[in-house]
Amino acid sequence: MNFPLWLNLTLNGLVLGTLYFLTAAGLSLIFGLMHVLNLAHAALFTWGAYAALWTYGATGNFLWALLAGFGAGLFLGLLLEILFIRPTYGKGIVQILLTLGLYMVLVEILKMIWGPSLLGFPVPDFARGTVDLMGLPFARYRIFLLILGGALFLLIYLLLTRTRFGMTVRAGVENPEMVQALGADIRIMFSATFALGAALAAFGGAAAGPFFRVVWPEMGLNMQLAAFIVVVIGGMGSFTGSAVGALVVGLSQAYMGYFFPDWALMANVGLMALVLLWRPQGLFAPGR
Amino acid sequence: MTELLQVENLQAGLGLYRILHGISFSAREGEVLVLIGRNGAGKTTTLRSIMGLTRILGGRILWQGRPIQGWPPYRIARLGIGYVPEDRGLFRLLTVEENLRLGLRQSRLWRAQLKRVVEIFPDLERLLSQRAGTLSGGQQQMLALARALMGENRLLLVDEPSKGLAPLLVERLAQHLKAMARDTTILLVEQNLPLALQVGDRFAIVEDGRTLHTGPMEELARDRNLQETYLGVKMGEVAR
């Protein structure tokens, strides 16, 4: 394998990893803190993409589109937590069925508004075209995604490590009872974390629109499957684990997709199985 | 001395299983009240119930005369009640500094409170950037107590702090608790008699989820029968 091809595949893997990370980070934090396996996460990803497409069409400004995606996720996440998740804390099986049902309802609402077909999502002007990477073309938008993903990782990392909110969330993942005994209102923390996780997924959907060039109502499903693999590999509740897991899965997808396309998904599932055998709690799982 | 906390005929349990059948005592401002009793008598459940971590099935808990039973734990904590559980409740993946900061009520008081806490636990100052999970047992106990102090709490509920500590460390722990008691009321669950006698002002005996007797610490120091029955001290053993 020559170096330019290797570089191209690696960068593509990192771009995929960025999208997986945005979906998986919220999923992981929500499960780690609240023990909620949110199967509606895929729908939040998709809602972010549609909200961004609608806003982009209305304003022509991609920054507003990204913010609309984030905002839609924040609002929907808060709504879902207060109306449906909060009354069912501690009821694992009820939550799984409930979030699965919510996924279906949210996707059907999208179909009612925008129809079931693919809708084109144009690449914003500033990121159109390709750059030459040692003789191989590489889409500008993918470079933008890499920068965006890196910046967002840094931002959330700072939020989790440098603010009292982040410190409380990390402590809550380890010992939610003690966090309450120290004076933190766990309900507010749960709502905020759920909304943040939903907003990250929706932001991922918004950013993924021009990457896929189209949006469709079930677009979140594949992302969710990959995100679950990422979370199992990285460890439930670990933000760093989500980032590392996402990059591993993204890179494996890119390499396998090029050399053995039929085995790409199999490789990721195999990777997950290996981690489960060697370290069932995931590579970076916080201790309890 | 005014009564800070009154517990009246407290009943509590897990699900349908009732653990406390009638706990009554009061903690006066500035004192160290020690709950003693055999394993499984209901001492830990009493502390957890006061903190709002166990379901209350009956009775009352009064904070300065105001009923607080059934309140969520965060509201109880914000009254100025700190809790140091038996397992210390530390966040092992967080640093010592982060653990201490989580004990603070107001972030702007960090420096002032740290200074106050370091006066009692000087060792913690050099461990601030270390993860709590990497500390020794004695250091972890210090951190758990220090974190409870950071919140300027008026009452501390401390559950078996000497558990798992070497005798030399228990002696140091006694000094720490005495220093903490200078400006905080402490409700202490403790099975280590010398430690209880050294720091306690009064004691309450808990047996089968009920309080049987309360009295001044001198009474417990004198009464070998009480020591043998509720603390497992054998006749002929030196209490102090």
What's A126's domain CATH number? Answer: 1.10.3470
pLDDT of A288 > 60? The answer is: no
Over residues A211-215, the mean pLDDT reads: 96
Range of the domain at A242: 3-278
- The domain total for chain A is 1
Residue A150 counted as domain residue: yes
Residue A268 counted as domain residue: yes
pLDDT of A92 > 90? The answer is: no
- How many residues can be counted in chain A? 288
- Total Cβ atoms within 10 A of residue B11: 18
B112 φ, ψ (degrees, to nearest 5):
-65, -45
List strand residue ranges (DSSP E) for chain A, in order.
Answer: 119-120, 130-133, 136-139, 214-215
Residue A91 counted as domain residue: yes
Which residues of chain A make contact with B129, given a CB cutoff of 8 A? none
pLDDT of A211 > 70? The answer is: yes
- pLDDT on residue A287: 55
* Ranges of H-type helices in chain B: 43-50, 73-78, 96-103, 110-120, 137-150, 167-180, 193-199, 217-222, 224-231
Of residues A164, A179, A287, nearest to B92 (C-beta): A287
Q: Is A186 on the interface with B (CB under 8 A)?
A: yes
Q: Which helix (H) or strand (E) holds A220?
A: helix A219-234
pTM (2 d.p.)? 0.85
Residue by residue, DSSP assigns B65-99 as TEE-TT--HHHHHHTTEEEE-TTTT--TTSBHHHH
pLDDT of A214 > 50? The answer is: yes
Tokens of A238: 């670990």
Low-confidence ranges of chain B (pLDDT < 50): 238-240
- pLDDT on residue A77: 97
Residue A287 counted as domain residue: no
Tokens of A5: 């091809």
For A178, the closest chain B residue by CA position comes to B89
Q: Where does the pLDDT of residue A183 fall: very low under 50, low under 70, confident under 90, or very high at 90 and above?
A: very high
- pLDDT on residue B239: 45
Sign of CA dihedral A178, A200, A146, A163: negative
Residue A232 counted as domain residue: yes
Of residues B78, B93, B147, nearest to A287 (C-beta): B93
To which residue do tokens 């996402």 refer?
A246
Residue A288 counted as domain residue: no
Residue A284 counted as domain residue: no
- pLDDT on residue A1: 65
For A173, the closest chain B residue by CA position comes to B91
